[in-house]
Amino acid sequence: MTLDWDSILARGQRGEGISEEEALAVAALSGPEALAPLFATADALRRHFKGNAINTCGITNAKSGRCAEKCNFCSQSAFFKTEAPKYAQKSADTIVAEAEAAFAGGVREFSVVMAGRAIDKEAELQTLEDAFRRIRAGTGLQTCASLGLMSEANLARLKAAGLQSVHHNLETARSFHAQIVETHTYDEERATIEAARGLGMYTCSGGIFGMGESWAQRVELALDLRALGVDSVPINFLNARPGTPLEGRQELTPLDCLQIIALVRLILPQQDIIVCGGRAQNLQDDQSRLFAAGANGLMLGNYLTTPGSSLEGDLALLEAQGLVIRPPPHQPHPSSVPAAVRGAGTDLAGLADKPVAGPVAG
């Protein structure tokens, strides 16, 4: 089909994402000349809804390795022999100290990530409750957690302690999921997001691209995320880990990565789109183009089992493009965040009005 870019932009600015037919046509585009109007439209939608503000997130790997689930991309699975670290849950003191350091470095949202099918042991839940209370009391951070297939009851308990956002990736399209995740179902993944949404929590769900899925399956995943009504979409690009079944796989080019970001922006024009794992390895020298492709967020610091980009380099990337870090919800950025990238004030309304539905003023 012929893509009407003016119509796509106008509808996107009203909050209407592209149709499945249009999305498949976008996915079929190839080459810099054909992709130029895609990137221009995605960037215009980002600017319309997000202005020059960039979400930043950081994580702590609060419990690592020995996971009983078999996800074929994951070096923390007990099914695979890898070099991933193995340790029990960190103490609340350690989690809080890491959150404080992240806040000082310019992180807006801090996520506690724990390996396992679901975090449901009483001692672990109590540690999380303690940590979230203290993070909320002592920093301006938006609190987040990625804790597996959580029950609504345990999510409600953590929400009462100060947890605001739930992260849980669908990983890939329903039609490809069983080839990647062998010990739980796509519907179980979805149920976790639905439970968080039912509690009124900010929901963060995306996937990993470059695991062997087709372009049509990339479209399928993005459309299902839209149907779920998630608030934020983390985009990860496979950084295949030694010892996993996907070891040695490298199928994405930097241009593929930018096209995936733009495709997701056109399908979900209002949502936060955060580029996370595999960014440096896959985008390489084109990392500076990810915002112009439609992303409005970055993960700062290290990932679960691999190092990330340097904080200084990421902040310099934002400054060079005239971008600022979106204000935290509860306290302004501390003075340790460079003034050139320090968004002013606080942004609690950004959590209450999910997702931000109107143009950014000015």
Residue 258 included in any domain: yes
DSSP 67-131: BSS-BTT-TTBTTS------B-PPPHHHHHHHHHHHHHHT-SEEEEEE-SSB---HHHHHHHHHH
How far, in Å, CA of 143 to CA of 270, rounded?
A: 21
Angle at 141 between CA 300 and CA 172, to 5 degrees: 55
How far, in Å, CA of 87 to CA of 109, rounded?
A: 24
CATH number at residue 241: 3.20.20.70
245, HSE (Cβ side, Cα atoms, 13 Å): 13
Sign of the dihedral defined by the CA atoms of residues 235, 190, 303, 253, in that order: negative
Residue 343 included in any domain: no
Residue 238 included in any domain: yes
**Segment 30-74, tens digit of pLDDT:** 999 999 999 999 999 999 999 999 999 999 999 998 898 899 989
**Segment 246-292, tens digit of pLDDT:** 999 999 999 999 999 999 999 999 999 999 999 999 998 999 999 99
Residue 346 included in any domain: no
Q: What is the pLDDT of residue 303?
A: 47
The percent of residues above 70 in pLDDT, for the chain, comes to 94
Q: Helix, strand or coil for residue 46? A: helix
Number of domains in the chain: 1
Q: What is the pLDDT of residue 301?
A: 72
Distances (CA, A) of 71 to 171, 198, 307: 9, 27, 20
Structural domain of residue 281, as residue ranges? 17-336
| Global pTM value | 0.93
Residue 1 included in any domain: no
Residue 127 included in any domain: yes
Instruction: Judge whether 180 and 211 are in contact, CB under 8 Å.
Output: yes
Residue 299 included in any domain: yes
**Segment 18-40, tens digit of pLDDT:** 999 999 999 999 999 999 999 99
